Amino acid sequence: MTRKIESKIVAYKVKSKDAIQEAPVQAVPEAPKLETMHEEMPRPEKLLGTTYKLKTPEHVSEHSLFITINDVVLNEGTDHELRRPFEIFINSKSLEHYQWIVALTRIISAVFRKGGDCTFLVEELRSVFDPKGGYWNKGKYVPSLIAEIGNVIEQHLMEIGMLKNPEMDEHQKAFLEAKRAENTAKEEVKEEEPVNTGFPPSATLCYKCHNKAVIVKDGCQTCLNCGDSKCG
């Protein structure tokens, strides 16, 4: 390390080897050992949990599903505090899907406890399609009940900070708002509509966000929900 001398040197002293050896060595503080998720981690006596109510059309499940995800807090009270999912439970009055629900929850819980990046579960579950066909729920197309469970897990991972909600820039938001306003003025809204999605009735399904929000403007298919466009 260099040091600028701003005044005259009036004296100097050279340290002997003995003085250097006798000088106390400053101990370097050890870095704190961070706690991480691993498959051998014992289950704590108390976990933080969130329960989500999943209501589906009657032909999919007669009764609602209640999805509970319990989280463990790592390095609590430090700057490295993290909240990570530890286990998942799915309960319902209906026993129709009991077997595969128990198997699914055990596998997902095992992936949670193994540690690492578990966000891939969302896309894996959302890629499952029901051979009998999907259904519409709150204006959004859901390919299967398993895919909707994946949507719930995605929502939870966003709440604890493992996933981020992708945001559009200001220009894209303004462009979509302008198109929404333009189409709202042209389209006639039905007096009695089962679900008010905020999109024109003539909009079609977007295969990226699964919302019925795709309109054709200037010869280009554009989604008014996520901004996906066939023209780039």
- pLDDT tier, 166 (very low <50, low <70, confident <90, very high otherwise): low
d(CA 170, CA 22): 64
Higher pLDDT, 226 or 123: 123
Per-residue pLDDT, averaged over 13-40, amounts to: 70
Per-residue pLDDT, averaged over 139-161, amounts to: 92
In the chain, what are the domain boundaries? Answer: 48-160, 199-231
pLDDT > 50? residue 12? yes
Report DSSP letters for the chain, one per residue: ------S---------HHHHHHSPPPPPPPPPPPP---TTPPPPS--EEEEEEE---TTT-SS-EEEEEEEEEESTTSTT-EEEEEEEEEE-S--TTHHHHHHHHHHHHHHHHH-S--THHHHHHHT---TT--EEETTEEES-HHHHHHHHHHHHHHHTTSS------HHHHHHHHHHHHHHHHHSPPPSS-SS--SS-TT-EE-TTT-BEEEEEETTEEEETTT--BTT-
Q: What is the pLDDT of residue 203?
A: 84
d(CA 146, CA 103): 12
Out of 2-11, 22-31, 115-124, 129-138, pick the least confident: 22-31
Please give the mean pLDDT across all residues of the chain: 82
Q: What is the pLDDT of residue 86?
A: 95
| 44 contacts: CB under 8 Å, gap ≥ 6 | 72
Half-sphere exposure of 8 (CA within 13 A, CB side): 1
Q: What is the pLDDT of residue 168?
A: 61
Q: Is 130 exposed, middle or buried (0-12, 13-18, 19+ CB in 10 A)?
A: middle
d(CA 124, CA 146): 10
Per-residue pLDDT, averaged over 55-69, amounts to: 89
- pLDDT tier, 100 (very low <50, low <70, confident <90, very high otherwise): very high
What pLDDT, in 10s, does the model give residues 177-216? Answer: 777 777 776 665 544 444 566 788 888 888 777 788 888 8
